[in-house]
Structure 1
């Protein structure tokens, strides 16, 4: 019986920026009021974790337990928790839904203000952590920290899901799939018979392509320097492909000429300033919408002429694909179970926690779409 007691378990810890993960024995405290302690079942390696391991994401403090895309089972609950109970199957959510702040109360917004509070500072709402290792405090990553056998997560960062859902596949719904899929459907509002272009054919890009297809786009252009990704992109709904490294002219010129300046929706799924600028430059004058999905570095700045906005272009960002996280995730898991989301296609590697550094190397080398760690 572990309820109310400190648990000792294994976790992958990053002690300093740009250092590899170290598998450690850590202590995980019981949940306090409004918190839930969960046993992680499966967790995906997302490129945001790569960026965070370098310290380039807002609020990352070291030493830290990274990971935010996972499936889990509730081990115990703190005082006042009502939406989940012991034994429930849940997905951790990097974007909370408190249902109290002005954003949560706005039906057209989803960036819960709790996200920009304690959660980007690496602590729980009371300003403390629930993790320790070798007598030292370990920080939390975006309210989740899933590269560990047990984690403590605020109730507002958890969605209860169908217990029959496959946990390995469901883990991807907690971040990558939801973010890209929703970016097309919600954030961009892709229309039927439109033309879309997607920069980066990793999990975000592929799920964006699924969203574009779901919305009825006629032409979906996949852009990547690794042509081996084109086959899977085609399965997701991509119709055209561009490898920028093979072009003799700038990609902006190529796309504008080939598609007559009529790409209504563009999506940047990489997190690089150069490709963000390309995506905005290529979206159509008059009605073009460019959505930034990839996470850029803290010091990056995007230099865009105001005249492009006057010409009718729209530039917008998205968190969690515009979904209100706790409301949407159970429904997306149902879509997974009904065969509407091809999540299994994204999982290229399955490993154990001990192999986490290998999994990160594969992602950084462009040799994996999504590696799942089964704990």
Structure 2
């Protein structure tokens, strides 16, 4: 059910018991400058800034353990059976959608897929390089393929991920450890003048600058998708930007969350993209630590926990 307020033109979702929803770590209040602008999607009510509070929008926490307050994690706190989120941080979705699949749309898939389609706006026939082939990186590959990129170069130090990357649309896979020269030089030699679009999906400052240097010296676009490491600074040659390159960041793939998530779920139901290849393990909630171990050792793409 949707209620439309004619005075401010805001659409308010009304939730009912039993609705299927996806919690949103990037909310969409519909009132702040970012929500009202077509240029961004990072709602001012987010809690993923450099100084997160771990609290609800009203400054309180709704969780306690043995009388002590427990903080909320990025407004969702989803590693639990029950959670409390603000109404701006939940998207109602098709009740027929398989939750054990579309849960990926709440973060990893949308972040990578949107980085290519929404943030970079990859064009048909373009060349792309994707640094990092985890669940988010593979979703970038899928986005580049959906956009019609003619060449998608996937980069990772774990060769075991190459087959999956090619399944998702990568045209070539390379391991930086196989070369004695910096990977941006390898990519420049492979493409002539650098790729049109590069994506850093690891979260390392070194690969962020390598990704920037690997894109076309004049009109290349490099997108930081991986979460930057805390308390680290980045240094680079400013000539990389002076010559015309564009360096961008992407949070949640540039999607306005409450608007986009139901549409992405609908697209999945219409088979416009697949999610199953991204899910390598399905584990009971009691084996959550095993899921983290699989992730750390590079043996999984995405592990889905079920109750």
TM range (shorter): over 0.9
User: Could you tell me the TM-score, scaled by structure 1's length?
Assistant: 0.77
1:217 is aligned to 149
1:113 corresponds to which of 27, 40, 44: 44
2 CA distance for matches of 1:277 and 1:205?
17
Q: Is it true that 1:98 corresponds to 2:29 in the alignment?
A: yes
**Aligned: 1:340 with 2:272:** yes
1:286-365 aligned at under 5 Å gives the runs 286-365=218-297
The one of 14, 17, 42 equivalent to 1:83 is 14
Distance 1:234 1:99 in 2: 39
* Contact preservation (8 Å) 2:220, 2:245: yes
**Cα separation, 1, equivalents of 2:243 and 2:185:** 18
Shift, 1:137, TM fit? 1.1
In structure 2, what is the Cα distance between the partners aligned to 1:214 and 1:258? 23
Q: Match for residue 184 of structure 1? A: 116
CA contact (8 A) 2:48 2:74 kept: no
Q: In 1, Cα distance between the equivalents of 2:193 and 2:266? A: 38
Structure with greater proportional helix content: 2
Runs of 4+ in 1 over 3 A off after TM superposition: 116-119
Q: Extract unaligned runs of 5+ from structure 2.
A: 1-11
Contact 2:21 2:90 in 1 (8 A): yes
CA contact (8 A) 2:47 2:74 kept: no
Q: 1:361: Cα distance to partner?
A: 0.9
1:108-187 alignment runs, 5 A limit: 108-116=39-47, 120-187=52-119
Q: Secondary structure at the match of 2:219?
A: coil
- Residue 262 (structure 1) shift: 2.9
Cα distance in 2 between the residues matched to 1:133 and 1:351: 26
Match of 1:262 among 169, 194, 206: 194
Q: Bigger CA drift: 112-121 or 189-198?
A: 112-121
Q: What's the CA shift for 1:301?
A: 1.2
Alpha-carbon distance in structure 1 between the residues aligned to 2:15 and 2:228: 34
Q: In structure 1, how many angstroms separate the alpha carbons of the residues matched to 2:48 and 2:121? A: 29
1:209 Cα deviation from its structure 2 partner: 0.6
Match of 1:285 in 2: 217
Return the offset for 1:82: 4.5
Specify the SS of the correspondent of 1:121. coil
* Count of equivalent residues: 295
Q: C-alpha separation between the residues in 2 aligned to 1:125 and 1:342? A: 34
Cα separation, 2, equivalents of 1:254 and 1:268: 16
Q: Which has the higher strand share?
A: 1
2:34 is paired with a residue of what secondary structure?
A: coil
User: Does the aligned pair in 2 maintain the 1:120–1:143 contact within 8 Å?
Assistant: no
Deviation, 1:117, is 8.3
Q: 2:176 aligns with which of 229, 235, 244?
A: 244
- Preserved contact between residue 95 and residue 111 of structure 1 (Cα < 8 Å): yes
Deviations 1:57-78 (A, max 9, x none): xxxxxxxxxxxxxxxxxxxxxx
Provide the alpha-carbon RMSD of the alignment.
1.4
Residue in structure 1 matching 2:166, options 234, 241, 248: 234
Answer yes or no: is the 8 Å Cα contact 2:130–2:137 preserved in 1. yes
What displacement does 1:285 show? 1.0
